[in-house]
Chains A and B, each alone.
Chain A
Amino acid sequence: MVVSQFLVLAAALFAMGVYGLLIRRNIVLILLSVELMLNAVNINLVAFESMIVTTEALGQVFAIFVITVAAAEVGVGLAIVLMIFRNRQSANVDELDLMRY
C-alpha cells in the first residue's frame, strides 16, 4: 500500500493548521486550527500503522489517545475562551496582551 498520498494529505492539513494558528485572530478559530494539526498527526499515525503493521495496533491506539487528549484540551480551552469573552467582550488574541513586560 502506498503511504505517501496519506502523508501528503497530512502535511497539507498540518500546514493549514499552522497557517490558521498564526493568522487567525479569533481564539475559537485558533483552537480549530490546533485540532486540524492534531488530526494531521492522527492520519500520519494510522498511515504508518498500515505500513508497518504491529501486533498491538500501536498507531490506532495512539490516534485514539490523541483524540481523547484533544477532546479534553478543547474542553478546557473553550472554557477559558468563554471566561475571557465574558470578562472582556472579545475573543481576539491581539487584544489579549496582558501578559507582557
Chain B
Amino acid sequence: MRGFLYDLAILAVDEGKAIEAGDGGFWADTAGIMLITPFIAFLAILAVGKKLKHNGGEIAVAALAINLLWASVLFVMNMTGGVLTETTFEIARIGSDLVFELGWAVDGLSIMMYFLVNFVGLLVFIYAIGYMKGDVRVHWFFAAFSLFAGAMLILVGAPNLVQLIIGWEGVGLASYFLIGFYWDDLDNVKAGNKAFMTNKVADVGLILGAIILGVSIGTFDFGELSKLAAEHDEALGAVALVGGLLLFFGAMGKSAQFPLHIWLPDAMAGPTPVSALMHAATMVTAGIYLMARTFPLFQNFDDLAGDGRMWMVAIGTITLFAIGLLALVADDIKKVLAYSTVSQLGYMMTAVAAGGYTAGLFHLFTHAFFKALLFLGAGSVIHAVHSNNMSDMGGLRKYMPTTYWTFVVGSLALAGIIPLAGFWSKDEILATLGHEGFTLVMWIAIAGAFVTAFYMTRAVALTFHGEYKGHGEPHESPPIMTGPLVALAIPSMLFGFLNVPGLSLPGIGNFTEWLGVRVVAMGDYHPESVDWGLAAIGLAAALLGIALGWRLWGPDKDTQAARDRFNVPVLYPLLRRKYYIDDAALGIVGATTGPIARFIDWTNTYIFDGIVNAVGGMTKWLGGITYNFLDQLGVDGVFNGLSAAADSAGSSVRKLQTGRVQQYASGFVAGALILVVLFVFVI
C-alpha cells in the first residue's frame, strides 16, 4: 500500500516535479522484519545469552546483520530508482475517523535512517564484543543494547506520530538501562535518572503536541499531516503553532538542545559503545528526525504560525556555539565528545529549523559516522589506559597507531577539513543559512566551526601527543575493536562526496535526491553549486582552530598538562570572565552615563523624592495593615490551622502502622466478625 506519503508525492507532481519512485517490491513489503529482529534478539539474549561464548553478543550482531542486509538493499534501490511506500496495520479506531495504525514507512528519509542505525549499530555491536569482554552482566548489556537499536528502528520506521512515540519512549527506557548500566555506583544510577527525567520533561511536549495535532486534524499520519501543512490547510493553521512548538520541545529533549542538553554529558556514565551509538545513530538523532518527518509543518511555520521558526533557529544557534565552548575545558575525553555532539546537534537543529531539510539531515548522516568513530576511538583509549581523563593519557600515538590514525580522521572530519565528510555537510548548512537570510546565524556557525576544530585539536594533542602520564603500559586494542574503527573511518572520509552541490554521481544521483526531494514537495533549499568563497571561510575557520589548538596544546612535553589547566594565554581568562562582556558593559555604562546620572540625581533628590516619599509612606502604612491583619491573621492563619490539623491527625493515625502483620490481621478479623454479626443478627 502506498499510503499518504505517496499522496504527498502526487502533490509534488502538481508542482511540476517528476515523480520517480518504485514501491520497493519484496524488500519494502518485508522491511518490517528490521523492526522486529532486535526484539527477538533481546528475548533470545535474555534466555540463552549467558551460556554463549560472547554472552549474547553474537545474537545481537546477527540480528543487526540481517537488518543491514535489508537496509542496504533498500538503500541501493533508493539510490538507483527511489522507493516510496508504506505498510500499515490498523490496531484500533477511536471514534469514527481517528485511526491508530502500526507499520513501517519506506521512503528516502526512513531508508537513510534504517541504513544509518543498522550500519553504525552493527559496527558498534561488533566493537562492543571486544570492549565488554570480561565485564559484568555482559548478556544484559547486549540485551538492552538490542532493545535500544530496536526501539530506534520502531521510531524511524514510524508512519505516524503514535508509533513514533512508542519508539521514542522505548529508546528512552533502553537508554536508562544502559546509562545506569554500572549501577553498583550510585553516580551512574543518578546519571541514568537524570537522562530519563530530562527526556520525560520533553516527552510531555511531544505527547501533547501529538494529541493536539492528531485530534484537531483527525489523523496521526505523517504523510497526511505533511500534506495538509504543504497545502497550507486552514484546519492546520490554527493548531500549527501550538502543536509544532510542542513537537519541537520534544525534539529539544531527545536531541539535547539548550537548555535541555544537561542530561547528555552525564549520559557518559554508561559503557563507551553505548555513548557511541547514542550519540551517533540513535537517541539524539531522534529529535532531528522528528523535525525532518514533520518538516512541511515547520517549513510553512511562518505562514501558518507567525515567526515561530526564529525561536527554533535561536535555540539551535545557542546550542551549537555556547555548548561547544564547554568542550574546551573538559578533562574527561568522553565529555569533550559529548559537548561536541550537543554542538553538532545544534548545527542540525539550526539547519532544519531554518529550512535546510537536506542540509540538516546530511550533517546528521555524516556526523553519525565520524562521531561513532570518535567515541569508539575514545573507548579504545579508555580500554588501554583504564581512565577517562585526558590528564592520564598523552603520547598514545606510539602505543596505539590504528586508534590514533582513525581518531585523527574522525577529528578532521568533525572539524570540517576538506575533503572529509564533515566539510561538505557543514558547508551545506552554512550555505543554507546564508540563503535563508540567517546571516548572523551563519557567522556564528562559522565561529562554531572554529571552536570545533579548536577543541578537537586539544583532545587529539592531549590524548595522543606529548608524554604518557598514566600508569602501566598501554597497548593497542584487539582487531575486533580496531576493525570497526577502520570501517567507520572510510565513510568518514568519503561520504561527503555523496552530496556535493552540483555533483550528481553517475547512475545514482546524490543524497538530496535519495532523501526524496525528487518526490516530495517541501520547499527544501539545496545549493546548485558549491559557494567556494563561503567554503573557504569555513575551512579557514577550521584551520585557524587547528593551528591555534596545536600552538596551545602541542607536544611540548612538560607544560602540556599545566597549560591545559591555567596557562592558556588570553583564552582561558577570556572564558573564565565570560569574554569580558560583563566588565565591558559595566565600563561603558559607567563612563558615558555619569553626567546624565548627576542631572537625574538632582531632579530626583529635590522633586521626585518628595512625591515618592509621600506615596511610599502611604503605601507602607497600607501595606502594614494588609500584612498584619489580612495576610498574617487571615490567610496564614487559615493555612497554618489547616496544616496543623492535618499534621496532628497524621501523627496520631500513623501510630496504627506498626509494621506487625498480625495486628493488621486482627483488625481484619475483627472487622469481618462485625460484618458477620451485622448480617446475621441485625439485617
Contact = CB atoms under 8 A, between A and B. Distances in A.
Contacts of B665: 21-22
Contacts of A99: 657, 659
A18 interface: yes
Interface in B196-243: none
A7 to B, nearest CB: 14
Contact of A22 (B654, B658, B669): B669
B657 A100 contact: yes
B660 A18 contact: no
Contact of B654 (A23, A96, A97, A101): A101
A97 B663 CA distance: 11
Given A18-B669, A22-B669, A100 B662 contact: no
B666 interface: yes
Contacts of B660: 93-94, 97, 100
Contacts of A96: 659, 661
A94 B662 contact: yes
B661 A101 contact: no
A98 interface: yes
Nearest to B661: A93
A38 to B, nearest CB: 15
Contacts of B666: 22
B657 A21 contact: no
Interface string A74-101: 0000000000000000000110111111
B598 interface: no
A93 B655 contact: no
Nearest to A98: B659
B662 A93 contact: yes
A83 B680 CA distance: 42
Contacts of A23: 662
Interface string A30-50: 100000000000000000000
Residue among B654, B655, B665 with the highest chain A CB neighbour number at 10 A: B665
Contacts of A22: 662, 665-666, 669
Contacts of B655: 101
A30 B664 CA distance: 14
A18 B660 CA distance: 16
Nearest to A94: B660
B256 to A, nearest CB: 40
A101 to B, nearest CB: 4
Contact of B657 (A18, A93, A101): A101
Contacts of B659: 96-101
Contacts of A100: 657-660
B214 to A, nearest CB: 42
A85 to B, nearest CB: 16
B495 to A, nearest CB: 54
A98 B658 CA distance: 9
Interface in B629-683: 654-655, 657-662, 665-666, 669
Interface string B451-473: 00000000000000000000000
A23 B661 CA distance: 11
Contacts of B657: 99-101
B176 to A, nearest CB: 26
A100 B661 CA distance: 10
Nearest to B669: A18
Contacts of A21: 662, 665, 669
Contacts of A30: 662
A58 B658 CA distance: 41
Contacts of A93: 660-662
A11 to B, nearest CB: 11
Contacts of B661: 93, 96
A101 B660 CA distance: 11
Residue among B658, B662, B666 with the highest chain A CB neighbour number at 10 A: B662
A30 B654 CA distance: 26
A64 B661 CA distance: 28
Contacts of A97: 658-660
A24 to B, nearest CB: 8
A4 B665 CA distance: 28
A100 B659 CA distance: 4
Interface in A15-33: 18, 21-23, 30
B672 to A, nearest CB: 9
B648 to A, nearest CB: 14
Interface string B249-289: 00000000000000000000000000000000000000000
Nearest to B655: A101
A99 B655 CA distance: 12
Nearest to B658: A100
A1 B307 CA distance: 87
A101 B666 CA distance: 19
Contacts of B662: 21-23, 30, 93-94
Given A93-B661, A98-B659, A100-B658, 18 more contacts: A18-B669, A21-B665, A22-B662, A22-B665, A22-B669, A93-B660, A93-B662, A94-B660, A96-B659, A96-B661, A97-B658, A97-B659, A97-B660, A99-B657, A100-B657, A100-B659, A101-B654, A101-B657
Interface of A: 18, 21-23, 30, 93-94, 96-101
Can you list the 7 inter-chain pairs with the closest CB atoms, starting with the nearest? A100-B659, A97-B659, A101-B654, A101-B657, A99-B659, A93-B661, A97-B660
